[in-house]
Amino acid sequence: MSWSPDNTQVNSWNEWDPLKHVIVGRADDCHIPPEEPALDAKVPEDSDMRGQWGRRPQETIDRANELLDNFANQLKARGIRVDRPTSIDHSQPATTPDFHTDSQFGCMPPRDVLLTVGSEILEATMSYRCRWFEYLNYRPLMQQYWDEDSNFRHEAAPKPRLTDADYHPDYLSEKIGVEKRLKWAEEKFFVTTEEEPLFDAADVLRFGKDLVVQHGFTTNQKGVEWLRRHFIDHRVHTVNFPGDPYPIHIDATFTPLRPGLIVNNPQRRLPEDQRKMFYDNDWEIVDAAQPAHNTPPPLCYSSTWLSMNVLVLDPKTVCVEKSEVYQAEQMDKLGMEVVEVELRDAYAFGGGLHCCTADVYREGTCEDYFP
Ligand code: DAV
């Protein structure tokens, strides 16, 4: 059956085929969560976020929602169906038999939670306690897709225990310093241990038959192994980006634009020995342009490299944040038509244009790009 906006079908095999149906997150009721091991390891040591938590100021929520709504409308105007999550009450504590934390996070960004592979949407384990229940924001949509698409496979990875055994205590000291962080990253010594499988969906990039997964703070080796045993028709590859002192999520680091072309963060280059599969198949990996900003916006977890957190609409069209002029210029030179989207004031809610979306339907089938 061919795709139409009122005929729900879940299908997406890569990051670039023509996008027809997408989820865009909301800033509703977003909280800065209290301290907890994995989250603290990510907050930069000089960040304005250290030591404070609670509901984000209402005017920042309203502004971020205005931008997210505008982005959704821009996508709709291009014929793309856009669905939105239903916010739960994020002020509620998250408590399980194994842990307690005093608040949750939000329903931004969906890319961290939902991994779409073909007709499946997989809810990630997550690795922060405050994000353990985040999938609940998307359950109304998952139930709707389940009812409307008889081929849709709704899956959830085993919920992790997230006891203290999941985190290396070395990462919990106030001052570690960037030098030591970089050394630890080089040694693949991250905040999460190998106690149990952990992964965030945003550590995974989809290249048809191949899934490329970043091993870092939010995804451990058992998490990668879990994905390998789960997606039995795929090849699953582990990648590392040693230049990143806070390695979470692959989507401000390694950005495929179309078959054969990837933009890579110049401070977080993929090591030579991990490039073989790309080079053997004539893929090009180019350095991303510099970000337009020297610092992230206030109360933001992410780095300035959200500049390269772009959303590809089809192999010739890419959404780039409006103020990221160098990234836009590079995309243009690489032969992409650039769609400008204003989103910077929503960055603090968990990321950029790729982060704040999750695929439901892209045209195309599962191809083998690395035979
Ligand atoms: O560069 O701070 C942000 C990735 C968000 N999904 C960074 C990574």
| CA 24 to chain CA centroid, nearest Å | 12
Cα-to-centroid distance, 21 and ligand 1 (Å): 24
CATH superfamily ID and name for 19-362: L-arginine/glycine Amidinotransferase; Chain A (3.75.10.10)
Written as tens digits, the pLDDT of the chain (371 aa) is: 678 989 999 999 999 999 999 999 999 999 999 988 888 777 777 777 777 889 999 999 999 999 999 999 999 999 999 999 999 999 999 999 999 999 999 999 999 999 999 999 999 999 999 999 999 999 999 999 999 999 999 999 999 999 999 999 999 877 899 999 999 999 999 999 999 999 999 999 999 999 999 999 999 999 999 999 999 999 999 999 999 999 999 999 999 999 999 999 999 999 999 999 999 999 999 999 999 999 999 999 899 999 999 999 999 999 999 999 999 999 999 999 999 999 999 999 999 999 999 999 999 999 999 99
The number of the ligand 1 atom at minimal distance from the alpha carbon of 303 is: 2
Task: Please count the helices (runs of H) and the strands (runs of E) in the chain.
Answer: 7, 19
Q: Whose CA is nearest to atom 2 of ligand 1?
A: 302
Rounded distance, CA 169 to CA 189, Å?
A: 12
Rounded distance, CA 155 to CA 174, Å?
A: 38
pLDDT at 361: 98
Query: What phi and psi, each to the nearest 5 degrees, are found at residue 337?
Result: -80, 130
With H, G, I as helix, E, B as strand and everything else as coil, classify residue 280. Answer: coil
Could you list the active site residues? 200, 249, 355
Supply angle C-alpha 219, 224, 228, rounded to 5. Answer: 155
Q: Whose CA is nearest to atom 3 of ligand 1?
A: 302
Cα-to-centroid distance, 1 and ligand 1 (Å): 37
Cα-to-centroid distance, 306 and ligand 1 (Å): 6
Cα-to-centroid distance, 298 and ligand 1 (Å): 15
Rounded distance, CA 200 to CA 331, Å?
A: 27
> What 8-state DSSP symbol labels residue 315?
T
pLDDT at 1: 64
Q: What share of the chain is helix, strand, coil (3-state, %, to 5)?
A: 30, 25, 50
The number of the ligand 1 atom at minimal distance from the alpha carbon of 250 is: 4
Residues in the chain: 371
Segments making up each domain of the chain, as ranges: 19-362
Ligand 1, pocket-test mutation among 244, 264, 302, 355, most atoms within 8 A of CB: 302
Which tokens sit at 221? 């080796």
Rounded distance, CA 27 to CA 67, Å?
A: 10
Ligand 1, pocket residues at CB < 6 Å: 202, 248-249, 251-252, 302-303, 305, 351, 355
The number of the ligand 1 atom at minimal distance from the alpha carbon of 302 is: 2
The CA-atom distances, in angstroms, between 185 and each of 241, 245, 270 are 8, 6, 13
Ligand 1, pocket-test mutation among 111, 205, 251, 255, most atoms within 8 A of CB: 251
Terminal Cα-to-Cα distance of the chain (whole angstroms): 29
Rounded distance, CA 191 to CA 361, Å?
A: 34
Half-sphere exposure of 74 (CA within 13 A, CB side): 19
Cα-to-centroid distance, 149 and ligand 1 (Å): 32
Supply angle C-alpha 259, 314, 113, rounded to 5. Answer: 90
Residues sharing a CB contact under 8 Å with residue 192, sequence separation 6 or more, in sequence order: 38, 127, 166, 167, 168, 198, 217, 218, 219, 220
The number of the ligand 1 atom at minimal distance from the alpha carbon of 296 is: 2
Residues sharing a CB contact under 8 Å with residue 275, sequence separation 6 or more, in sequence order: 285
Alpha helices in the chain (DSSP H): 37-42, 58-77, 139-148, 178-186, 221-230, 276-279, 325-333
Kindly report whether the peptide bond that precedes residue 271 is cis, defined as omega within 30 degrees of 0.
no
Ligand 1, pocket-test mutation among 254, 306, 356, most atoms within 8 A of CB: 306
Pair 196, 356: CB distance under 8 Å: no
